[in-house]
A and B are shown apart, each in its own frame.
Chain A
Amino acid sequence: MPLLKLVPDNTNIKFLRWRVPFYIVSMILIAASWGLILTKGLNYGVDFAGGQEIEATFTKQAEAPVAALREQVGKLGYGDPVIQRFGAPNEVSIRTKLPESAEGNPGAAEAISKKIIATIRASNPDVRIESVSTVSGKVSGEFRQTAIYALGLAMLAISIYIWIRFEWQFGVGALFALFHDVSLTLGMFALLQMEFSLQIIAAILAIIGYSLNDTIVVYDRIREDLKKFRKMPLPELLDMSVNETLARTVMTSATLLVALIPLLFFGPESLFGLTAAIVLGIFVGTYSSIYMAAPILIWLGVSGDSFVPTESAVERQERLARERSAKP
C-alpha cells in the first residue's frame, strides 16, 4: 500500500517572498490584540478576578435559564452576576463579586453561596451544583502576579537558551515569535470574551513550548544549511530550510490537532477553554515559526559566517593557557 504524503516531495514554495506584507499583517494583528486586551479587557474568571463562582447543571432542562437566573441572582444584591454557559447548553457558571465584608470571612461567603443556590433551586428543582469556588481578592491578586511572572520568565528563559545554543539573532527571533503567539492568543480571548483562568495560563505556557518546537526545528535546519551553503543569499537559504522541514511541520501540527480536537468535542466541559487555546496556539505557532522567526534573521543580519568558529581548537587552547598564565 502506498504511503500517504501530506506534503509532496521537493516543494519549493517561496515563503519569504511575502515576508514584508505578512510582517505588516502580523504587526497589525499584534497591535489589534493589545488594543483589545487594553480596551475590552480579558474576561477574568474567579481565579484572577476574585469572588465566588458556582457551577451548576440543570439536569431536566435542555437549556439553562440564563436570563431568569441573571434576574433572580441579580436581585440578591451582590452586583450583576456574570453568567456563562460552559460546555453543554444546560451547564452554567455563575460568578458574583464578594462584598468587602465577606473577604476572608467564611461565614459570610458561605451565606452568600447558600443564598444564591437556594434562589436557583427555588425555581429550578432539577439543579445540580457541580462546584463552588471562593477566591479572596488577595489570593486572586497573587494569581495575576505569578501568572505574569511565569509567562515572562518562560519567554525569557527559553530565548536565552536559544541564544546559547544558536546565536543572539536566533534568540531575538524566538522571543519575537513567542511574543507574537502569546499576544494573538490573549487577543483572541479578549475578542471572544472567553473566561480567562489559571488553566489558560497553563495553555499559553504549553503553546510557548510547542510553538518553539517548530521554531527550533526550522532554526536547526537553517543553521545546518548555513554551514553547508555559505554563499547562498539568505532569503533563498531560509526558503530552502523551511521547505525542507515543511513535511515535518505539517505532520506534527496534524498529529497535535487530531489528538486535541476530540478533546474539544468529547472532553470535559471545563477543559474547553484550555484546549481551544492550545489548538489556536498550534496554528499561530506554526505560522510564526515560518513567518515571524525566520525572516527576522534577515533583518538581524545572520550570515554563513555566524557559525564558523573564529579560532581553531588549538588556538583556543593556546589562548586559554595564555589567559591562565597572565593571571597571577
Chain B
Amino acid sequence: MLEFPTWKKLWYWGLTLVVAAAALPSLFSVLGLPWPSALPNPQVSLGLDLAGGSHILLEANEKQVAQQRLENMEESVRARLKLAEPRIRIGDISSAGGRLSFMLKDSAQVDAAREQILPLTTGAGLTGQRDWDIAVEDGSRFILTPTREGLQQAVSNAMDSAIEVVRKRIDALGTREPTIIRQGENRIVVQVPGLDDPTALKNLLGQTAKLEFKLVDETAAPTDITQGIAPPGDEIVPWSDPNAPGSGGVPVLAVKRLGGIKGDQLTDAKQSFEQRNNSPVVSITFDQQGGAKFAKLTSENVNKRFAIILDGKVLSAPSINEPIMGGSAQISGSFTVQSATQLAIALRSGALPVDLTVVEERTVGPDLGADSIKKGLIAMGVGSGLVVLLMIAVYGRFGIYATIALIFNLMMILGVMAVMGTTLTLPGLAGFVLTIGAAVDANVLIYERMREERKKGRRVVAAVENGYKEASRAIYDANITNFIAGVLLFAFGSGPVRGFAVVLIIGLFTSVFTGVTLTRMWVADWLRKARPTELNV
C-alpha cells in the first residue's frame, strides 16, 4: 500500500499538475491578469445566471406539422390522380381526425388509384419505412393514415430547418455568441449571453413569417363571410388590423384558396418607404421562378385585388393596377419602421416550417452575475479557510497534507471543467463549496482509522497502512452513492441545476484521487524519510 515506484510518482504528479494547470487561464481571467497568448487558453464558460443574458425555450407545434402534412398530401393526391391516365376522379375529400379520406367515383379504379398513391406514402429513407398507411373501405373509399414514424420524421425535419431559420434570424440581429440547441423532440433552447432586453429577439422568433399572396373573391357577401359562410373554393382570412384601409370595416376577407403564390421564393427583403405617403413598407424581390409566377398572377388579374397574407392574417389587399413584371413588390400594411424591419429579417431568413412559442424565458441582468461571483468567491474563501484551520487543528501534519490535497482538488475540478467545456453556474458555485466540505471526508475517515489502529497497539507503518486500507471501502461506497445522486440530478435537472451536478460529479473523482491517492503518496514519503516512532494524529 505504501510502496510507490518512481514511475508511479511521476505519473501521479504529472497528472495532477497538468490538470490543475488547465485551471490557470480561468483563474487569471477572474483575477483580471493577462494570460500569455502563446499558451493554450481553455476557459470555464460562465452560465447565464453568472454572465447575464437571456435563455429562451421555444416549443414547436407538432399538431401544426401534422396538419401541414395532411394538406400537402391532399394536394399531391389530387394532382397525381388528375394526371393519371386514364384520369381518376375522386370526391368527398375529408381530412378530419388527422387522416385523409376520399371516395373514388368509379370503384373499378381502386387498383389503379392505389398504384398512383403508393409512391407518395413511402419515406425517402433507406429503411423503406412507410409514412402513411393505405386502407380501402367499402370498395371505393381510400383512407390514408399517417404512421407514427412518418410523423416523427416530419417533426424532426421541421425542427432541423426551424433551427436553421432561428440561427439566421439571430445572426441578423447581430447578437454575439448565441447558443442554439435542439432539446427533446420539439424544443429549441436559445441562449444569448449579455442580452438585457430580449423583446426584439422573442418577437422575431415568435413570428412564423409565412407569406402568401391570394386573390380576393369580390363576389363574397360581407354579411356571409362575417358569419363564416364562404363561397365554394374560398377561405376566410381575418385582417391583422381590422381598421386597415381597404377592409371596409369588415374584419375578415374571402380569398381564393388555390392559385395563389407563396412567399418562400424570395431572394431579398428589406424595409423601405412608400413613395406616395412615406409610410414604412417591406420591399421584396422574388427569385426567378417566383418572379415568373408573380408576373403571371398579376398580368392575368389586372384591376382585381390580391391579399397579402402573413401568418394567416391579411396585411393589406391592394389592387393590381398593372402587371408586375420586374420580380419585385412592396408589402404595405400598418407597419412601423421597427415592425417592417423585423418582418424583412424574418422574410429574408425564410419562414419557420412550424410555429414556435416561448414556453420558458429567463433573463438575468449583468450586475447580478458579477455580484454573485464576488460573493461566491468570498464565501468560498472563508469556508475553505475554516475547513483548513479545523483540519490542521485536529490532524496536525496530516491536516496539512489534506489541505494541499484540497487545493489541488479545487484546481483540478476547475481544470477538468475548462478542458471539457462545461459551464459554471450559480448553483455550481454552491457545488464547489459543498465539495470543499465533503472532499476532506475521505481524509477524516482515513486519519480516524489510523488513530484507532494506533490505539489498538499497531506499529506506526501498519497503522497508516490499515488506515488507508480499511477506510477505502466506505470511501468508495459513499462516492458511488453520491455519484448515483449526481447523475440523476444531471439527467433530470435543467440549466443552472445541471451546473451543480457537474461540479459534484467531477469533484467526486478528483477528491478520491487527491484525498486518497496523493495523500497516501505524501504520507509514504514522510514515513520513509522521517521514520517516526509515534503517529501524532
Asked if A and B bind, the verdict is: yes
- Residue of B477, B489, B493 touching A216 (CB-CB under 8 A): B477
Contact with A along B268-279 (1 / 0, CB 8 A): 000000000000
Q: How far is the CA of A267 from the CA of B428 in the complex (A)?
A: 13
- Residue of B382, B391, B491 touching A266 (CB-CB under 8 A): B382
Q: How far is the CA of A162 from the CA of B480 in the complex (A)?
A: 10
Contact with A along B190-217 (1 / 0, CB 8 A): 0000000001001101100000000000
- Which of the 9-residue segments A200-208, A298-306, A318-326 touches chain B? A200-208
By a CB distance below 8 angstroms, the chain A residues around B203 are 106-107, 110
- Which of the 9-residue segments A37-45, A73-81, A142-150 touches chain B? A142-150
Q: How far is the CA of A262 from the CA of B377 in the complex (A)?
A: 11
Q: Are B375 and A267 in contact (CB under 8 A)?
A: yes
Q: How far is the CA of A271 from the CA of B536 in the complex (A)?
A: 39
- Which of the 9-residue segments A25-33, A188-196, A225-233, A244-252 touches chain B? A244-252
By a CB distance below 8 angstroms, the chain B residues around A66 are none
Asked whether any CB of chain A lies closer than 8 Å to the CB of B62, the reply is no
A-B pairs with beta carbons under 8 A, tally: 244
A150 — nearest CB in chain B belongs to which residue? B492
Residue of A3, A216, A263 contacting most chain B CB atoms (<10 Å)? A263
- Residue of B59, B387, B395, B427 touching A271 (CB-CB under 8 A): B427
- Known A-B contacts A106-B206, A255-B444; the reply to A274 vs B430 at CB < 8 A is yes
By a CB distance below 8 angstroms, the chain B residues around A149 are 492
Q: How far is the CA of A6 from the CA of B245 in the complex (A)?
A: 85
Residue of B364, B376, B492 contacting most chain A CB atoms (<10 Å)? B492
Q: Are B427 and A255 in contact (CB under 8 A)?
A: no
By a CB distance below 8 angstroms, the chain A residues around B315 are none
Chain A: how many interface residues by the 8 Å CB criterion?
77
Q: Are B375 and A210 in contact (CB under 8 A)?
A: no
Asked whether any CB of chain B lies closer than 8 Å to the CB of A133, the reply is yes
- Residue of B368, B386, B394, B473 touching A6 (CB-CB under 8 A): B394
Chain B: how many interface residues by the 8 Å CB criterion?
78
Q: Closest CB of chain B to A5's CB: distance in Å?
A: 7
Asked whether any CB of chain B lies closer than 8 Å to the CB of A158, the reply is yes
Q: Are B429 and A268 in contact (CB under 8 A)?
A: yes
Asked whether any CB of chain B lies closer than 8 Å to the CB of A258, the reply is yes
- Which of the 9-residue segments B116-124, B138-146, B353-361 touches chain A? B353-361
By a CB distance below 8 angstroms, the chain B residues around A237 are none
By a CB distance below 8 angstroms, the chain A residues around B221 are none
- Known A-B contacts A3-B395, A106-B202, A220-B473; the reply to A259 vs B455 at CB < 8 A is no
Asked whether any CB of chain B lies closer than 8 Å to the CB of A128, the reply is yes
Asked whether any CB of chain A lies closer than 8 Å to the CB of B236, the reply is no
B50 — nearest CB in chain A belongs to which residue? A268
Q: How far is the CA of A132 from the CA of B486 in the complex (A)?
A: 28
- Known A-B contacts A110-B202, A262-B379; the reply to A220 vs B477 at CB < 8 A is yes
By a CB distance below 8 angstroms, the chain B residues around A3 are 393-396, 536-537
- Which of the 9-residue segments B26-34, B91-99, B280-288, B496-504 touches chain A? B496-504
Contact with A along B45-85 (1 / 0, CB 8 A): 00001000000010100000000000000000000000000
- Known A-B contacts A139-B359, A198-B497, A278-B434; the reply to A205 vs B391 at CB < 8 A is no
Would you list which residues of chain A between 113 and 166 have a CB under 8 Å from chain B? 128-136, 138-139, 143, 146-147, 149-150, 153-154, 157-158, 161-162, 165
Asked whether any CB of chain A lies closer than 8 Å to the CB of B3, the reply is no
Asked whether any CB of chain B lies closer than 8 Å to the CB of A213, the reply is yes
Q: How far is the CA of A286 from the CA of B438 in the complex (A)?
A: 14
Q: How far is the CA of A248 from the CA of B376 in the complex (A)?
A: 28
Asked whether any CB of chain A lies closer than 8 Å to the CB of B441, the reply is yes
Q: Are B358 and A202 in contact (CB under 8 A)?
A: no
By a CB distance below 8 angstroms, the chain A residues around B481 are 158, 161-162, 209, 212-213, 216
A53 — nearest CB in chain B belongs to which residue? B362
By a CB distance below 8 angstroms, the chain A residues around B429 are 267-268, 271
Q: Closest CB of chain B to A97's CB: distance in Å?
A: 15
Q: Are A154 and B484 in contact (CB under 8 A)?
A: yes
Q: Are B437 and A260 in contact (CB under 8 A)?
A: yes
29 A-B pairs with CB atoms under 8 Å apart are A3-B395, A6-B394, A107-B203, A110-B203, A147-B492, A150-B493, A154-B484, A158-B484, A161-B484, A198-B494, A212-B481, A217-B474, A217-B478, A220-B473, A248-B444, A248-B445, A255-B440, A258-B386, A259-B384, A262-B379, A262-B382, A263-B430, A267-B375, A267-B376, A268-B371, A270-B49, A271-B429, A271-B430, A278-B434
